[in-house]
Structure 1
């Protein structure tokens, strides 16, 4: 089969690779769409710690094209989203159903060949039906589940005001999930006017460009002087990770979804706010709960089917598999404005 192979840091070659033999409890999925994640960029550039050569891609969807002997709940042609997370099922966290915290997990797209290929092999429990959703929407269920994990975990209440830092793909999905949960208003914060305009189109009531406006003053203005009930950090920036601690009201909540790529040093006032204002601070990792893969996945799919969460509008580029390296170059060098970039191992009419 054809696959985009990571040979070493920053080197991706599309070539023929041998298909993995199918075990009795596995299925083979013909990949129709696979998204490039921001974490793929970081891992590809400097942070890859898994065996090479490798095939990345953990956001993908397609149709089942081969079924193992011990698989009775799936059939050929089923339209599915891939679940890339492989929990051990035996550690103390898995035994409690806290799969996101598994101590021995592996990942499709890291430990095993992922979705930047014509086909991918998965355990039978690692696919979820997408029904009549498009394959591109199916490929976005994984990042949607990440957003859902954070929103469900922070437990927003009806009438809450929420500040969302970082209006990338996850940030936009968090905005939508918060509105589905019934919050009163969402305040989007970014340093790109284009991203803030996009947040407005997805339901954010207010926007703040933190390079051009005073963040704390604007949040107070939009919350009648009280501060936000919740802050959701989706940028993975040491700047926004600290700013969350300055704009939340007393007994407010802060949810961290963005990965920390640098040390986060806290000014005295920001740190004091944690205890003087009695904040609740929670981190959110991965997107899984019990029963596996969790309501993050099942609820997310239903919200998309019901039209409550929009995914297709977030896709800016559709790139053939053979041009995967060019797609990564574009994203790394920011040669064009982009949102979600989809790799298309096998084009079909539905996605045109």
Structure 2
């Protein structure tokens, strides 16, 4: 089959590779769409710690074309999304249904070959039916479930004002989930005017570009001097990870969804806000709960199929498997705005 193969940091080549054998408890999925995750960029550049050569891609959907002898709950021809986390099922966290915290998990696209290929073989327990959902939407269920995990976990209340830092794919999905949760006002923060324009299209009442305006002063203005009830960090930037501490009101809540790729050193004032304002800080990793894969996934599928969450408008670029290297080069070059970049493995 054709696949985009990572040989070492920053070296991806499209070529023919042997297909994996489909085991008794596995299925083979013909991959129809696969998204590039922000974490893929960092891992591909400098942080790859898994076996090489590798095929990346953990956000994907497709059609089951083969199933193992022991697989009974899904059928050949089913339209499914892949659930990339394979929990160990044995650690103390798995035993209580906290699968995101598994002590010995493995991931499709890291520990196993992933979906930047014509097909992928995985455990049958790691697929979920998407019905008639568009395949590109199905490939975005994984990042949507990540956003849903954070919003469900931070527990916004009806009428809250929330600041969302970072209006990329996860940020916009968080915005849509917050609206469904009954949040009154959403303040979007980003250094890209293009992304702030997108935020307004998706219902954010206020937008702030900190390069042009004083962030803290604007949040105070938009909240009547109180500060935000909740701040959600989706950018994975040490700057925004600190800024959350400056804009949240007393007794407010902060949720961190973005990965830290550098040390976060806090100025005295920002750190003091944690205890002087008695802030609640929570981290959100991955997108799973019990019963596996969890309400994050089932709720996401329901809202997309009901038309209450929009995914297709977030797709900015589409590439073939042979062009995966070009897709990464575009993202790393930052010469044009992008949002979700989609890989379409099948020949037209």
- TM-score, normalised to structure 2, is 0.99
What CA RMSD, in Å, does the superposition of the two structures yield over aligned residues?
Answer: 0.8
The answer as to 2:288 corresponding to 1:296 is no
Query: 8 Å contact 1:236–1:260 — kept in the other structure?
Result: yes
Q: Which runs of 5+ in 1 are unaligned?
A: none
Aligned partner of 1:37 in structure 2 is 37
Aligned partner of 1:92 in structure 2 is 92
Deviation at 1:347? 4.6
Aligned partner of 2:194 in structure 1 is 194
The answer as to 2:61 corresponding to 1:82 is no
Deviation at 1:223? 0.7
Query: 8 Å contact 1:133–1:305 — kept in the other structure?
Result: yes
Deviation at 1:334? 1.8
Aligned partner of 2:330 in structure 1 is 330
Query: 8 Å contact 1:216–1:247 — kept in the other structure?
Result: yes
Q: Distance in 2 between matches of 1:181 and 1:125?
A: 29
Deviation at 1:328? 1.1
Identify which range, 328-337 or 105-114, moves more after superposition. Answer: 328-337
The answer as to 2:141 corresponding to 1:141 is yes
Q: Distance in 2 between matches of 1:268 and 1:329?
A: 39
Query: Aligned residues, how many?
Result: 348
Return structure 1 stretches of 4+ with deviation > 6 angstroms: none
Query: 8 Å contact 1:32–1:347 — kept in the other structure?
Result: no
| 1:194 counterpart SS class | helix
Q: Distance in 1 between matches of 2:272 and 2:328?
A: 42
| 1:322-352 superposed Cα distances (whole Å, 9 cap, x missing partner) | 111111111111233211111110155xxxx
| 1:7 counterpart SS class | strand
Q: Distance in 2 between matches of 1:322 and 1:55?
A: 13
Deviation at 1:164? 0.2
The answer as to 2:68 corresponding to 1:68 is yes
Q: Distance in 2 between matches of 1:300 and 1:185?
A: 22
- How do 1:180-259 and structure 2 match up within 5 A? 180-259=180-259
Aligned partner of 1:20 in structure 2 is 20
Aligned partner of 1:315 in structure 2 is 315
| 1:100 counterpart SS class | helix
Aligned partner of 2:282 in structure 1 is 282
Q: Which runs of 5+ in 2 are unaligned?
A: none
Q: Distance in 2 between matches of 1:323 and 1:217?
A: 44
Q: Distance in 2 between matches of 1:336 and 1:168?
A: 14
- TM-score, normalised to structure 1, is 0.98
Q: Distance in 2 between matches of 1:288 and 1:246?
A: 30
Q: Distance in 1 between matches of 2:273 and 2:146?
A: 28
| 1:284-311 superposed Cα distances (whole Å, 9 cap, x missing partner) | 0011000000100000111111111100
